[in-house]
Structure 1
Amino acid sequence: MSDAAGSSDVAPNESGASATGSNRTRAESIPGIERATGREWSAWVTLFEAQGAPTLQHPAIAKIARAALTDELRNPDWWAQAIAIAYEQHAGLRVPGQSSSGTFRVSASRTLPFDRDAAIEAWRTAHGSRIQHLGHAVIDARASRTEKRSFWRFGLEGAGRVEVSASPKGEKVTLAISQDGLADGERIEVWRAHWKSLLAAL
């Protein structure tokens, strides 16, 4: 999901879910989905349930969403994934932050007045020499780049893998951190605060 068309970083309520009955979807994700697709969330729920989505795995649910989107929508494949995840949270098939594999993911980002390579270098200068994060040892740290993005990636013993990516945003850059592979969701907000504090230090 690193090619997201855009996402909100508004915090959920204390339970990590919206306050609407059994709806476990992050409340801030719904308006974005409705605006992008022109379809009310209740209509998405009806569509999924009519096609047996509560009994399906993520790829099949995403396929239902993609079939209901037009190619005129920017990044329709990404939106299909996002809508499927939101429905899975709504239906209790996963909780916010949980991936389709059952592990958990956390992310944070900041816009900086650098180019993409300078942003990664700023991260490496400030934090690249760290040997641990929240007590988990850093392993296999390395830089890489593609035509569109620059990266700094590393593993954390017992806490999954981390990708720091720099993507141009006009004359600035979005520096995003995503951590995948957490065994449970109990420390998601602790990790989010940690990554945000490191981004704020740049």
Structure 2
Amino acid sequence: MSDKFEKATGRDITGWMEFMREHGNPHELSHQELVKLASRGGASDWWSQGIAVEIERMIGRRQVGQTVTGSINASVTKTVPGEWTDVFEEFVAFMESRQLADAPRITATEKWRYWRADLADGSQVSVDVSDAKGKTRLSAKIDKLPTMEDRDRVKEEWRALLTEFSVTVT
């Protein structure tokens, strides 16, 4: 049976672990060293990061939802109809009406719009908005969660929030 790593790189995650062991002890390699090794093994930059993360999970260095620094995060996405720059403006107004953050930071590039804020519990949220082939993709990433137990609750809260927003999109 093929896994996502094999489909994308030609080598399944067990094969990547064997490759890592042939070139060093994965327990002793830093995240960046694992990334560089995966890259040398033929993985793209994006897949090299994913391989390194999965290897770290396999050796017990991190859990799902945990960053290389040990911080805990959660993410959810939602695709909605509409032109992405218009949807972003609607999202900003929607979030203002919810008063979840005192001073959100709004930035833009040619291909992305960002809504970022520090939340009362010390966590940080970044909502990235982009074109999804005629629709709009909203991706919320919540960093610096207080505990791993908060992760599922926060994911559900943001999933519900994005779903609530999706029914308001005109």
User: TM-score by structure 2 length?
Assistant: 0.88
1:93 match = 61
| Cα shift readout 1:164-200 (whole Å, capped 9, x = no counterpart) | 1111111112111001122331111101001100111
CA distance in 2, matches of 1:197, 1:147: 28
Three-state SS of the structure 1 residue aligned to 2:70 is: coil
1:196 match = 159
Percent of paired sites with the same residue: 28
CA distance in 1, matches of 2:123, 2:91: 19
2:92 match = 124
2:140 match = 177
8 Å CA contact 1:115–1:168 kept in 2: the answer is: yes
1:103 match = 71
1:69 match = 42
CA distance in 2, matches of 1:31, 1:107: 22
Higher fraction of helix: 2
| Cα shift readout 1:126-179 (whole Å, capped 9, x = no counterpart) | 2233334xxxxx243121101110111111133321111111111112111001
Matched, 1:80 2:53: no
1:59 match = 32
Three-state SS of the structure 2 residue aligned to 1:97 is: coil
Matched, 1:142 2:105: yes
1:33 match = 5
Q: Which runs of 5+ in 2 are unaligned?
A: 166-170
Three-state SS of the structure 2 residue aligned to 1:178 is: strand
Three-state SS of the structure 2 residue aligned to 1:153 is: strand
| Cα shift readout 1:21-51 (whole Å, capped 9, x = no counterpart) | xxxxxxxxx8222211111221111112232
User: TM-score by structure 1 length?
Assistant: 0.75
How many residue pairs get matched? Answer: 163
Three-state SS of the structure 1 residue aligned to 2:144 is: strand
8 Å CA contact 2:13–2:51 kept in 1: the answer is: no
Q: Which runs of 5+ in 1 are unaligned?
A: 1-29, 71-75, 133-137
**Which structure 1 residue ranges, 4+ long, deviate > 6 Å from structure 2?**
none
8 Å CA contact 2:117–2:124 kept in 1: the answer is: yes
- Paired letter, 1:130: R
Structure with higher Rg: it is: 2
2:168 match = none
Three-state SS of the structure 1 residue aligned to 2:36 is: helix
Q: Let me know the Cα RMSD of the aligned residues.
A: 1.6
1:4 match = none
CA distance in 2, matches of 1:65, 1:80: 5
